[in-house]
Structure 1
Amino acid sequence: MAENESNIEKLDQIQRAQRQNMNACGEAGDKNGMLLHYANVADTYDTFKDLPGWEQGRKNVALALHSAKPGYNARILDCGAATGQTAEEIIKLGYTNIDGLDMSMDMLRVAERKGLFKNIICDTIDGVHNTKIADDSYDVVVCNGTFMPGQMDQTSFPELTRITKSGGFIIFSVSFKYLHEWKLFKNGQLDSEMQKYVSAGKWKKVEQETLNYWEEEQAIYYTVYVA
């Protein structure tokens, strides 16, 4: 118990440091600060993966993928892969054809040592540029805990849609704390932008579910059916 309490305190410190390198008002994040932060925590980040409740978010995303029934040979992109914790949960369900994308090469190197990914891609899906990923590459793209200040928002939808196959799925989560406090989300902009994609025929539909993901915090888990 004492070790768990110590790790929870350390994780809280890491999250506070991370948020210092984000701008919760929704302006441009400090990318260099974020990269430095992730470089500093990469080798110890997995210390926290077995904390009670900490695994719930990544399990929820893995189960959402499984519920979409993409087939066990589906090509999957873990977007915001970090050290591969979400991929580990996906692999437990029988899916192994997974690539990992993250802005931090330091985090990806930790995942690479575990042998989780077919390919690793150091890049961002940020609404500013296109990645080098080919059109219609993936059956499923998952984004666990990446829709937050300084990382991803609704401007990422065009690139997420471009790299996902017709008939494929985009699965992502958004914490309630960001839905309520971040100006890019809090006035319903996220849902409004998703509806535009459905109305334009780019997406068939969007399903959502509200679940706990860490202690008392909740998140909405979205499953997008790409047209």
Structure 2
Amino acid sequence: MEKCIKLQSQHALAHFASRKQLQNTTTIMSTCSSIQSRKFSLTKDEAKYFASRSVEDMKEYRNKLQKRRQERMKRAADGKDAYGSEQDDGDTYFEVPPVDPYAIGCRAFAAIIANCVTDRTSQVIDIAAGTGYMGIEIKKFGFENIDSLEPLQAMIEKQPKGIYGKVYKEMISGEETTSIPSDNYDCAIIGGSVSPTHIEVGAFPEIFRIVKEGGYIILNIPDYWYHYMNFGANFDTMLQRSLEDGTLEIVEKKRCVYIYHFEDANVYILRKANNVINNTAKNGF
């Protein structure tokens, strides 16, 4: 696991060093406009805050975020605690307390999950759960049985009490099988962690394994990861193959606000096949 984390960290360092194209004013302005137009996912205080921010404010925020994540990834690559004594991102990046970028994006994503998975007694696993933002938000929709998978102890220690049942301190990848039984969950959710540095394409056979037949895999991929080194194209190729071999079906693909880097994300609602003949043309792939 340690070797895997180091390799991911080194890969991430190369990525963040090449992200100058994401710093342009047009991208930030269009995304800020997207945030302001999606009042359904903002509280009154949040909407007021974003409306008052200038493009320069957003650029400064993004630059600070990039610098901090570079430092974090370098610590991990050197075999040190990636987070050190840092507080959680959502507590510190914005100066105004009511505004939390993680919570806004997770709230919008949780609403999509709740609309799709209507049985609130469903067994749900939050993959790459981090400090528990997604767990908090889907718990608000009445989900009763939520487990967590997160490899970093520093993250697990910050997960709120009473949100998760079982907590698996494990990495999910294409190299190893987790301790989770097969066909165990009605729904697996992955909020913002499907990327070349976290949940890679090769991890999905293992994710499919732990989900029950007919169960859901619901995830989002932020735009900056989707377009990085053909990651999105590789992900879609994996989906195409899974459709063709009868592993899963695509229920829906849509857009959703992501917030954390002031960009949107692709949301995939997938369903593990249960003797289903998939119609790939119908799903647009």
Question: Fold match, TM over 0.5?
Answer: yes
- The offset of 1:32, in angstroms, is 5.1
TM-score, with structure 2 as normaliser = 0.66
TM-score, with structure 1 as normaliser = 0.82
Closer/same/farther in 2, CA of residues 156 and 33 from structure 1, 3 Å limit: farther
Indicate yes or no: 2:197 matched with 1:153. no
Identical residues among aligned pairs (%): 24
- The offset of 1:10, in angstroms, is 7.4
* Structure 1 segment 126-205 matched on structure 2, within 5 A: 126-185=173-232, 188-205=233-250
* Structure 1 segment 62-141 matched on structure 2, within 5 A: 62-111=110-159, 113-141=160-188
Native 8 Å contact 1:77 1:142 kept in 2: yes
C-alpha separation in 1, matches of 2:199 and 2:144: 25
The letter for the 2-side match of 1:191 is D
Q: Runs of 5+ in structure 2 lacking a partner?
A: 1-48, 274-285
Native 8 Å contact 1:70 1:139 kept in 2: no
- The offset of 1:15, in angstroms, is 4.6
- The offset of 1:126, in angstroms, is 1.7
C-alpha separation in 2, matches of 1:123 and 1:12: 31
Native 8 Å contact 1:176 1:217 kept in 2: yes
Structure 1 residue ranges, 4+ long, deviating more than 6 angstroms after superposition? 8-11
1:44 is aligned, of 88, 102, 107, to 88
Point out the structure with max Rg over C-alpha: 2
The DSSP-based 3-state class of the residue aligned with 1:178 is helix
The DSSP-based 3-state class of the residue aligned with 2:158 is helix
Q: Runs of 5+ in structure 1 lacking a partner?
A: 23-28
C-alpha separation in 1, matches of 2:79 and 2:243: 33
C-alpha separation in 2, matches of 1:35 and 1:160: 28
Output one character per residue of 1:105-150: Cα deviation in whole Å (capped at 9) or x when no partner. Answer: 1111111x42211011111112111100000111010000111232
The letter for the 1-side match of 2:150 is D
Quick one: higher RCO (CA 8 Å, sep 6+), 1 or 2?
Answer: 1
Native 8 Å contact 1:35 1:104 kept in 2: no
Native 8 Å contact 1:21 1:34 kept in 2: no
Native 8 Å contact 2:257 2:265 kept in 1: yes
Q: CA RMSD in A?
A: 3.0
Aligned residue pairs total 215
Native 8 Å contact 2:258 2:264 kept in 1: yes
Closer/same/farther in 2, CA of residues 106 and 206 from structure 1, 3 Å limit: same
Closer/same/farther in 2, CA of residues 119 and 173 from structure 1, 3 Å limit: same
Structure number with the higher strand fraction is 1
C-alpha separation in 2, matches of 1:33 and 1:217: 30
